[in-house]
């Protein structure tokens, strides 16, 4: 039998980065348990527009758990109470009839609020621009797929590359640290032969950019790992620390 619930939403409203924000309360009745969280917000916005009110601004794109745009802080958890999913994959069946659901944007000095539930995550792009790529002129070498790489190393690199850059790690961290994101991007390249040539410069540049942009320090509470929708491991942070130390020693 289909689950139908009535819920109360407490949603953060903020007109701009420098505006003072506040929570507004909305009630929605007759929501199907099969409705996704973003679809529920669509229903709310349709209702608000029909009433001549301002809809709630929130980010979304693929709605398939790939892009990481659906960055909502729901009842104290990035992406909501379910594990290993993004907000767009969260369904209303995880809530009970009569629940009050609190929805906020990511909270980080490096992610200023644009409007309501939307934040500016361009800081992540700046970190990638600082060194999260391979720019070596390799010349006439064999195709990358022809380079022998052990399955263990390939699997580790793929696990690190699964990071979608959503920012849940930053939102979950009490210090607003981006170490899990940066370490995943460093690891996916540091593990492969194509990325080893620029390894030292990459680790130094990306960590320096992270610090410059105002992200906090890692204190190993593992909240980032717990809330990551792709299950990225903090073992990548240990690898980043090693890469950074090797770079400093080399200099």
* 144 pLDDT more than 70: no
If phi > 0 it is left, if psi is from -120 to 50 it is alpha, else beta; for residue 106 that is: beta
* 136 pLDDT more than 70: no
**pLDDT reported for residue 139:** 64
Q: What are the sequence ranges of the domains in the chain?
A: 4-114, 121-250
Burial of 213 (0-12, 13-18, 19+ CB in 10 A): middle
Q: Residues 72-79: what's their mean pLDDT?
A: 97
Contact 119, 193 (CB under 8 A): no
Q: How far apart are CA 247 and CA 198, in angstroms?
A: 10
Higher pLDDT, 250 or 31: 31
* 132 pLDDT more than 80: yes
Q: How far apart are CA 57 and CA 29, in angstroms?
A: 21
**pLDDT reported for residue 138:** 60
Q: What is the pLDDT of residues 170-179, one digit of tens each?
A: 999 999 999 9
* 143 pLDDT more than 90: no
Q: What is the pLDDT of residues 36-75, one digit of tens each?
A: 999 999 999 999 999 999 999 999 999 999 999 999 999 9
Q: What is the pLDDT of residues 92-126, one digit of tens each?
A: 999 999 999 999 999 999 999 999 999 999 999 99
Give the pair of three-digit tokens for residue 155.
């699997």
Q: Which of 86, 78, 84, 82 is nearest to 103 (CA)?
A: 78
**pLDDT reported for residue 156:** 94
Note the pTM of the prediction, 2 decimals.
0.92
Architecture of 4-114 per CATH?
Answer: Roll (3.10)
Q: Residues 7-15: what's their mean pLDDT?
A: 98
**pLDDT reported for residue 141:** 63
DSSP, collapsed to helix, strand or coil, labels residue 202 as: helix
Contact 109, 214 (CB under 8 A): yes
DSSP, collapsed to helix, strand or coil, labels residue 26 as: strand
Distances (CA, A) of 43 to 27, 34, 38: 11, 13, 9
Chain-centroid distance, C-alpha 48: 28
Burial of 251 (0-12, 13-18, 19+ CB in 10 A): exposed
DSSP, collapsed to helix, strand or coil, labels residue 250 as: helix
Q: What is the pLDDT of residues 189-243, one digit of tens each?
A: 989 888 888 888 999 999 999 999 999 999 999 999 999 999 999 999 999 999 9
Contact 173, 224 (CB under 8 A): yes
At the fourth CATH level, the homologous superfamily of domain 121-250 is Alpha-helical ferredoxin (1.10.1060.10)
Q: How far apart are CA 13 and CA 116, in angstroms?
A: 4
Q: How far apart are CA 232 and CA 240, in angstroms?
A: 14
**pLDDT reported for residue 35:** 97
């Amino acid at each position: 039998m289909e689950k139908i619930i009535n819920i109360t939403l407490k949603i953060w409203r903020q007109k701009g980065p420098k505006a003072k924000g506040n929570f507004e309360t909305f009630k929605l009745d007759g929501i199907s348990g099969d409705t996704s969280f973003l679809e529920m917000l669509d229903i709310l916005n349709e209702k608000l527009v029909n009433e001549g009110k301002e809809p709630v601004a929130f980010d979304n794109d693929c709605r398939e758990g790939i892009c990481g745009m659906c960055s909502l802080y729901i009842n104290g958890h990035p992406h909501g109470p379910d594990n290993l999913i993004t907000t767009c994959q969260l369904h209303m069946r995880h809530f009970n009839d009569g629940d009050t659901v609190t929805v906020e944007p990511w909270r980080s000095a490096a992610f200023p609020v644009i409007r309501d539930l939307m934040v500016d995550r361009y800081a992540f792009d700046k970190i990638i621009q600082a060194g999260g790529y391979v720019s070596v002129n390799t010349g006439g070498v064999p195709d990358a797929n022809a380079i022998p790489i052990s399955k263990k190393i390939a699997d580790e690199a793929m696990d690190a590359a699964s990071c979608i850059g959503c920012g849940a790690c930053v939102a979950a961290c009490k210090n607003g640290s981006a170490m899990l994101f940066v370490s995943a991007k460093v690891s996916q390249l540091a593990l492969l032969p194509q990325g080893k040539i620029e390894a030292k410069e990459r680790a130094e540049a990306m960590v320096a950019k992270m610090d410059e942009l105002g992200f906090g320090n890692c204190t190993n509470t593992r909240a980032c790992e717990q809330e990551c929708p792709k299950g990225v491991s903090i073992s990548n942070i240990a690898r980043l620390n090693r890469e950074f130390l090797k770079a400093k020693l080399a200099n």
